[in-house]
Amino acid sequence: MEGASYEERLSRYNKFVSLARSIEENEGSLEQFSRSYETFGVNRLADGGIYCKEWAPGANSVSLVGEFNGWNSSSHCYKMLPFGKWELYIPPRADGSSPIAHGSKLKVVMVCKTGQQLYRISPWARYVIREQNSSTYEWVHWDPPRRYERKYPHPPRPNSVRIYEAHVGIASPEGKIASYKNFTHNMLVRIKKLGYNCIQLMAVMEHAYYASFGYQVTSFFAASSRFGTPDELKELVDTAHSMGLFVLLDVVHSHASKNTQDGLNLFDGTDDCFFHSGARGTHLLWDSRLFNYSNWEVLRFLLSNLRWWVEEYYFDGFRFDGVTSMLYHHHGISTSFSGNYSEYFGLQVDEDSFVYLMLSNYMLHSFYPDFITVAEDVSGMPTLCRPMIEGGGGFDYRLAMAIPDKWIQILKELKDEDWNMGNIIYTLTNRRYGEKCIAYAESHDQALVGDKTLAFWLMDAEMYTNMSVLTPFTVVVDRGIQLHKMIRLITHALGGEGYLNFIGNEFGHPEWLDFPRIGNNESYHYARRQFDLLDNHLLRYQQLNAFDADMNNLEEKYGWLAAPPAYVSEKHEGNKVIAFERANLLFIFNFNPEKSFPDYRVGIDRPGKYKIVLDTDSTDYGGHGRLNHNTEFFTDAQIQNDRPNSVLFRSDDSDFSLRRGHAAELVGYGTLHCCENSFKVYIPSRTAIILANMDIHK
């Protein structure tokens, strides 16, 4: 299979090179080809006139109608061009102003080959709105006399990527659709304080159905008007840049909505305009249309769409949604991926879409060297995050999608004493060397109704009654608070070269996410994030929030995400202890539900003096405060777990016995001291500790 792998990667690369060369030869340059939004759609020229252009190969005639011409379909007719294109020039008014006023409504009218007259929104429309009580969107000409002027450049690309995955509409405690302005003025400061350096904005590309979470796109060039105006989105991105935050856009090029009145489907009356015809052009599970990536005009449309979001809105990167569906003719439906190479190479792979992804990454990284691209691929396609010259897809990162599934499986199916340390480590480290991953314990997928967040799996109904700091811990809340921190930290430190969190999960949001729909009486109750809970310092949510911020800010200081993969020295099934080194830090996790270990030796590579720099048991994070952070620890030159040095964790009391429950573990046992090149401490149950080598980290 290795030979077949090479041959197929070579074929992909040759096809990519041939396509890129063909674009250069026939369109002048890839730069010009990918800026086709400057001519297609409706554009105002320097003389004040309007130039219009559409691709509608199935049309017999095309005209532009709107408020500017009284909706007269015979007054402004397009001229037919070769290859199914149509153009129209509308001269300026006598005073040199535009003949189409900003904010006026438009439609493209086509008479298709069957004689049917179709009223459509241009695929290149920049702004669409839905009037109150209307079921479809209207195309509105966006050409304000004063456009938002950008004040700040792109920030430098971060070495360690810490992504805050966010949805503008739910970013408020209020039961309504929140706005771009709300996000700008209220969310950006929160995100910055939490230590994230990237924001991934979901559901920005316009989608008619709010409950689709933005994944049934209708207008690819339009920023969703339900959140505000294009200028307000530009202000959001610009303000984020002023704070040094990268902003990624969730791009949906894997499929499109089946809507016809306000989508791309049947644009010119044919089912193969933009999409594959027949059954191949429909995704059975998503009930949506599938692009024909071998079509020249589809490539023009999609590549220009990527350039548009960078040039017009100044996004710093893209997370490509549904990449697994794009990579295979079977779209991942009813398919499990075991890692066997025969699953990734063969006739089941859609080479046209793979080459489109290669071309997209080549274009983006050539024109914008600091750009970041992330692939949402559950299959684990080899070389997806390798350079094009290797036959790879050219992505910077892929999402480590097996990790959240593993945590949910553990919490659903296993008792704490049955957690398998080796299996956890395998899932967190099972990635190809040289292909970077974004790790996450949970994302929007786990927050949606029908599933549960980690906090909900851990604490469920008690989150509504027992989260006050004024009342003692219940067994359920104590377990949930401690494991919530440990799961996130080990995922952050071991699972990849980047980290992602979904909005609200950092503080253990108490409810799932459910958009208004018929099934819930169009309620917004669950389509919000209750940030007001953090403002109440009598609730334990603020303790989880504080931990998330300190975890991220510590990574910013030590840079473990940008460091080589960790060396795992211990995964002890009986003790439920995991230890590993990364970025000259020592990470120790005691997942044991009952036992705290008074004498524990852990192997380590670098000798020297160590101090605790993060401790999940800190009272600031809702822990029990059993460890003293002021003590300095020294290594012994004793081999442990194949490491040349070791550190010994020892209690002050030689008669210390293991006890059940936190109440019996007196705080006094957290007092530490050093003696003869070893240090004395114990590892409390359900606690994670990070120690830094102070000889290196001055």
pLDDT above 50: residue 665: no
* pLDDT tens, position by position, 346-357: 999 999 999 999
Least confident span in 406-420, 541-555, 591-605, 660-674: 660-674
Mean pLDDT to the nearest integer, 275-285: 96
Instruction: Quote the DSSP letter at residue 113.
Output: T
pLDDT at res. 48? 95
Mean pLDDT to the nearest integer, 448-462: 87
Structural Rg of the chain based on CA atoms: 28
Whether the CB-CB separation of 72 and 106 falls below 8 Å is answered with no
Active-site amino acid positions: 321, 376
H or E element, residue 648? strand 645-650
Cα 97 to Cα 87, 362, 397, 648: the distances in Å are 21, 40, 47, 79
SS (H, E, C) 230-299: HHHHHHHHHHHHHCCCEEEEEECCCCECCCCCCCCCCCCCCCCCCECCHHHHEECCCCEECECCCCHHHH
Closest CA to 159 of 559, 565, 696, 433: 559
* pLDDT tens, position by position, 589-605: 999 999 999 878 888 88
- Chain position carrying tokens 């209207």: 138
Closest CA to 668 of 579, 610, 598: 598
pLDDT at res. 663? 33
pLDDT above 80: residue 421: yes
pLDDT over 90 percentage in the chain: 83
pLDDT at res. 4? 60
Farthest CA pair distance, the chain = 97
Categorize the per-residue pLDDT at 639 as very low, low, confident or very high, splitting at 50, 70 and 90: low
pLDDT above 60: residue 652: no
| 249 strand-pairing partners | 201, 318
pLDDT at res. 305? 98
Give residue 382's identity as a one-letter amino acid code.
P
What six digits make up the tokens of 676?
């003869």
Interior/surface letters 258-282, b for 16+ CB within 10 angstroms, e for the rest: bbbbbbbbbbbbbbbbbbbeeeebb
Mean pLDDT to the nearest integer, 319-342: 93
The pTM assigned to this predicted structure is 0.94
pLDDT above 70: residue 646: no
Categorize the per-residue pLDDT at 110 as very low, low, confident or very high, splitting at 50, 70 and 90: very high
Mean pLDDT to the nearest integer, 254-265: 97
Mean pLDDT to the nearest integer, 606-612: 88
Instruction: Quote the DSSP letter at residue 92.
Output: P
pLDDT above 90: residue 643: no
Segments of 542-608 assigned E as strands: 567-572, 577-582, 585-590, 599-604
Complete domains list, the chain, with CATH: 36-140 (2.60.40.10), 161-558 (3.20.20.80), 567-693 (2.60.40.1180)
